[in-house]
Amino acid sequence: MEIDLNGQVAVVTGGSRGLGKEMVKAFARCGADVVIASRKLDACRELAEEVQRDTGRRALPVACHVGRWGDLEALTDAVYSEFGRADILVNNAGMAPLYPSLDTVTEALFDKVVDVNLKGPFRLCAVMGARMAAAGRGSIINISSIGAEHPQVNDVPYAAAKAGLHTLTIGFAVALGPAVRVNTIAVGPFLTDISKAWDVDGFEAHARTHYALGRLGKPEEIVGTVLYLASDMSSFTTGTAITVDGGVTKASPFPVE
């Protein structure tokens, strides 16, 4: 079954690389115009040019720091000024800085993690979600992590913020319904830019013997779930979380070095 998003506008934060980049390209392939938002405007512009060249869809690059509410309001204004609508919002931007031990986590680091992973998505759901609701339709997808329910010692602030994002999803599903659906995707280990900080060989060796699918995820494998939640195929789905982790959380504890 083909998903037709012609006439729709999809906004993706953290959209210039990794999972966000794959989402942007998938939305465009399905006919949507796209808004690519991240802190690095050059990367957004590069992807926008690729999208326009390969799909013919309009693509708007926007510089945006998700942890700053002023940037989110400017992003919303830019979307509606350019397109007059937003039908799909993916709160994908996130950060999970490493630290040697919990007692070394500074207040500044903790605040930064919460700002990007929780405070920013709250504000964008509120501001852009209100406009979606007024227009009578929309789908918001929050990208979370299996860490929200399975925190590791080296990602506690991140996991706590993502757990808050699950609660935020439920709250906005109620607040913005019935016009706007709000859901979460809890992702597991994908081989994106962030995996450069991992012991990938060790992780993959562990995966082969401990994970249901025996491997880590490829970035493009997020696309099916995102398109399902963005489209009318999920018209009776809201306030829920879908786990996309290759069976990691059904297996033994995993290393996150």
- Of 128, 132, 8, nearest in space to 64 by CA: 128
255 has a pLDDT exceeding 60: no
Examine the residue annotation and report whether 162 is marked as an active-site residue of this protein: yes
pLDDT above 90 covers what percent of the chain? 81
241 has a pLDDT exceeding 90: yes
CA dist., res. 16 & res. 31, Å (int): 19
242 has a pLDDT exceeding 90: yes
In a 13 Å sphere around the CA of 14, the CA atoms on its Cβ side amount to 22
CA dist., res. 118 & res. 163, Å (int): 9
Active-site position among 162, 211, 231, 234:
162
pLDDT band at residue 257 under the 50/70/90 scheme? very low
Active-site position among 144, 145, 231, 234:
145
Examine the residue annotation and report whether 158 is marked as an active-site residue of this protein: yes
Q: What does the mean pLDDT of the chain come to?
A: 92
164 has a pLDDT exceeding 60: yes
| pLDDT for the residue 195 | 52
Interval 51-61: pLDDT, tens: 999 999 999 99
Q: By mean pLDDT, which of 99-108, 160-169, 196-205 is the weakest?
A: 196-205
The domain spans of the chain are 9-243
Which residue in this structure is represented by tokens 């997808």?
141
Q: By mean pLDDT, which of 104-113, 115-124, 149-158, 159-168 is the weakest?
A: 149-158
The whole-number average pLDDT for the span 97-125 is 96
Examine the residue annotation and report whether 145 is marked as an active-site residue of this protein: yes
pLDDT band at residue 1 under the 50/70/90 scheme? low
Interval 179-216: pLDDT, tens: 999 999 999 888 876 655 556 677 677 677 778 788 88
Active-site position among 38, 158, 211, 231:
158
256 has a pLDDT exceeding 50: no
Which is more confident, 199 or 86?
86
Interval 25-51: pLDDT, tens: 999 999 999 999 999 999 999 999 999
The whole-number average pLDDT for the span 161-189 is 97
CATH superfamily of 9-243: NAD(P)-binding Rossmann-like Domain (3.40.50.720)
230 has a pLDDT exceeding 60: yes
In a 13 Å sphere around the CA of 41, the CA atoms on its Cβ side amount to 4
- Of 179, 248, 244, 162, nearest in space to 210 by CA: 248
**Per the structure block, which two tokens stand in for 102?**
């919990």
